[in-house]
Amino acid sequence: CRFSYFCFVFFLFPLSFFLFPLCFVCFCSVFLIAGVFLSCSPFGLPRPPVCACNKCLMEHDQWLSERTKESPEPFLSPTNNISEDTFNWWKYDRRNFAFYNKIVDKVFQIFPTKVNFTRSSPDLCRTCAVVGNSGNLNGSHYGPLIDFHDIVIRINRAPTKGFERDVGNKTTYHVMYPNSFRNLDNTTHLLFFPFKIYDLQWLIRFFTQRIDSDYDMLLSKNSTFFNSFMKYVHQIWLKQKGRYPSTGFITLVLSLHMCDEVSVFGFGADKNGNWNHYYEPLRNKRLRTGQHPGKLEYQFIVKLHEQQKINFFRGW
């Protein structure tokens, strides 16, 4: 566009001595047209911002776009249930799809049917800290940096009391399933990952049996849950390596949909190669990642960091 604009002006310049009024009109017309064309993204200039950050996560990137475009809506709702094929991939017992749907109907008789989180906007910069539980957080002094983010997402047990210096104390969303459940305060949203039908049944029992006001508040305002987005993560991101993704890696991929800038803490082994938790003494140096493809997940985190899609803080 710029080349055409300057060529056109150069061509008209000798005639301007004789046809100045006509030249002036043509000059203005070309200038206006060029201005319109040059503001459009197909001509190589920046697209309108999708967020107010210096660099938005969802700015066009072919490698990341190929993965995110495959993503289903991550949150379960009455209008966004899973297919029977996905159910058959997800289930861990012999109960059938009809039984599963009855349980889901009961869930939404208790819990909110809408997921409330802030969507991307040119006026907002949603900064998120995804905090894992690796022992590499010990001695990191990351606490203030973690709490500085708009949204802090913690996973499973993830205690903060007594560990504030290294992990902070702010929690916006807490990802859990029955085996890792812990009490939450009224300012924290629950992201519930059901790995089997029993987990949904547990959720119903737990919240219908609680009668105290704190859990009434959590139930009515702050709870949401999450379904088999894990199939997408397992197949598209991990190429079906391992039996299923870790809760931490699913959370990280989810954060790419919820945030404009993502910082990752507490993933991977410690500096001595041990896979352990920051809140537990190291008792077993042979502990690995079990049925999760831990090394592959870690490689993806490093790749996202190297491609400047996330900020990865290793802790050592």
3-state SS track over 196-209: CHHHHHHHHHHHHH
Question: Both 138 and 260 in a single domain?
Answer: yes
**Is 244 a known active-site residue?**
yes
pTM over 0.85, yes/no: no
pLDDT of residue 155: 95
Distance CA 135, CA 271 (A): 9
Question: Both 307 and 227 in a single domain?
Answer: yes
Q: Is the pLDDT of residue 314 over 80?
A: yes
Would you say 234 and 246 are in contact if contact means Cβ atoms under 8 Å apart?
Answer: no
Q: Taking residues 159-178, what's their average pLDDT?
A: 94
pLDDT of residue 316: 67
Question: Both 87 and 133 in a single domain?
Answer: yes
Q: Residues comprising the binding site for substrate?
A: 94, 133, 156, 215, 244, 248, 268, 277, 292
Distance CA 195, CA 207 (A): 18
**Is 257 a known active-site residue?**
no
Question: Both 146 and 6 in a single domain?
Answer: no
Considering the chain, what is the average pLDDT of its residues?
78
Active-site annotation holder among 244, 257, 279, 298: 244
Which two three-digit tokens encode residue 93? 């017992």
Domain, as residue range, for 16: 2-43
pLDDT of residue 184: 84
pLDDT of residue 120: 76
Q: Taking residues 178-182, what's their average pLDDT?
A: 86
Question: Both 149 and 268 in a single domain?
Answer: yes
Q: What is the CATH number of the domain that holds 160?
A: 3.90.1480.20
Angle at 49 between CA 43 and CA 54, to 5 degrees: 115
Distance CA 314, CA 316 (A): 6
pLDDT digits (tens, 9 = 90+) for 191-241: 888 888 999 999 888 888 765 655 555 555 456 777 778 889 999 999 998
Report the 10 Å Cβ neighbour count for 312: 21
Strands in the chain per DSSP E? 127-131, 151-155, 173-176, 189-192, 223-225, 261-265, 311-313
Is the alpha carbon torsion for 13, 16, 21, 22 positive or negative? negative
Residue 57 belongs to a domain = no
Question: Both 158 and 261 in a single domain?
Answer: yes
Q: Taking residues 50-68, what's their average pLDDT?
A: 80
Residue 49 belongs to a domain = no
Question: Both 66 and 142 in a single domain?
Answer: yes
pLDDT digits (tens, 9 = 90+) for 7-32: 333 333 343 333 444 343 333 333 22
Residues 100-119, buried b or exposed e (16+ Cβ, 10 A)?
beebbeebeeebeeebeeee
Q: In Å, how far are 11, 167, 280 from 275, measured between CA atoms?
A: 70, 17, 11
pLDDT of residue 284: 65
> CA 70, 74, 76, 79: dihedral to nearest 10 degrees?
-50
Question: Both 36 and 66 in a single domain?
Answer: no
Residues 66-90, buried b or exposed e (16+ Cβ, 10 A)?
ebeeebeebbbbeeebbeeebbeeb
pLDDT digits (tens, 9 = 90+) for 127-148: 999 999 999 999 999 999 999 9
pLDDT digits (tens, 9 = 90+) for 62-74: 888 888 888 888 8
pLDDT digits (tens, 9 = 90+) for 256-295: 988 999 999 999 888 888 888 999 887 766 655 556 678 8
Burial degree of 211 (CB within 10 A; 0-12, 13-18, 19+): exposed
Which two three-digit tokens encode residue 58? 């969802």
Question: Both 35 and 70 in a single domain?
Answer: no
Residue 156 belongs to a domain = yes
Q: Is the pLDDT of residue 2 over 80?
A: no
Q: Taking residues 32-48, what's their average pLDDT?
A: 37
Distance CA 239, CA 129 (A): 26
- What is the number of domains present in the chain? 2
Residue 207 belongs to a domain = yes
Active-site annotation holder among 149, 174, 234, 292: 292
Q: What are phi and psi of 24, to 5 degrees?
A: -60, -40
Q: Taking residues 238-253, what's their average pLDDT?
A: 90
Q: In this prediction, what percent of the chain has a pLDDT beyond 90?
A: 34
First to last CA, the chain: 50
Q: Is the pLDDT of residue 94 over 90?
A: no
pLDDT of residue 132: 95
pLDDT of residue 141: 96
Burial degree of 45 (CB within 10 A; 0-12, 13-18, 19+): exposed
Residue 237 belongs to a domain = yes
